[in-house]
Every structure is written in structure tokens, then in C-alpha cells.
Amino acid sequence: MRLPRPDPDCWFDDPVPGDRRSWAVPPSHGTYQGLDLEQLDPGDEHQLMFLLEALHHDEEQDVPGPDREPNPRLHVLAHIVIANQLLADDPPETWQTVQRLAGLGYGWHNVMHLIMGPVVQAVFGVLSQEQSFDRADYLRLLAELPGDSPAPEDLT
């Protein structure tokens, strides 16, 4: 099964079970804005951002910005935080959470959006409340997923 095609010239495969790198950014094909996606390295921060932007091209974004309206840039940045955690395996609990949620039947985008909740909450706390990052709290939030989220079969 392929993830939604954001552009007629590019597409992304489902991640490979057990492969952290493919969960960070699913395997890509084709071109986006004239670049061959298969030639890009998710380990490079700029190329990672480009890949995730390509994956989200023409989608409505659901992470509100400071004005509480959806903010596509913030949405992609939250995906980048998660991708970087997966690529570095730091914290390892992020990968464990991905595997657990995938084992429950959640697909790539739903897993990323579930993890996005704790990521955004942690970033918001650090930026708006001028508090230190609380690793223990972040890991607790990951462990509580999926919480009261809809079951995988109820998501479209």
C-alpha cells in the first residue's frame, strides 16, 4: 500500500516494518520540484525537510501555529523532530512507540500524528513557559499513546 500521493510525479511507499530509517521518512520515488527524491539523504537536515515537504504537498496540516490556525511549516517541523529522533534512536522510546502503535494497526501518518502530540507539547512547554525539557514527562506521554485516539480501523 502506498501513502497518499501528494504530487503526480512523486510517491512514497509504506515504511518497512522494523526499519527505523523508513519510518523516519518512507521510501520515496519520482521527482518533486524537479529533484529526484530517491537521490536525497534523510540524514541531511535540508534534504529531510524537502522530503517531508514533498510528502505533505497539498495536504491540509493540523498543527496549529501561534494564531491557532493550521501551520504547514510547523507541521513539517514536528515531523522533522520525530524523524530526527528515529534516525538517531534518541530517545529509543520513540522507536519503541512507533513499533507498538504500528503493531496496533496504525499506519505511518497516524503513528507520526500520535507522536506529534507529545512532541508539540514538549516544545510548547519549553518555548512558552520557559521551562527545561522534561525527558521523563515526554517519555510518559509517549507511553500513554494512543490514549483516547480513534482505533486504527476508525481512521481514514
Spell out the domain ranges in the chain: 10-154
Q: Is the dihedral of CA 30, 33, 36, 40 positive or negative?
A: negative
**What average pLDDT is seen over the chain?**
87
Confidence of residue 61 (pLDDT cuts 50, 70, 90): very low
Whose CA is closest to 14, among 106, 88, 95?
106
* Residue 8 binned pLDDT confidence (cut-offs 50, 70, 90): low
Per-residue cell: 101: 502503535
Q: Is the pLDDT of residue 3 over 60?
A: no
Answer for the pair 132, 84: CB distance below 8 angstroms, yes or no. Answer: no
Q: Which three cell numbers stand for residue 94?
A: 520513540
Q: What is the pLDDT of residues 99-142, one digit of tens each?
A: 999 999 999 989 999 999 999 899 888 888 778 889 999 999 99
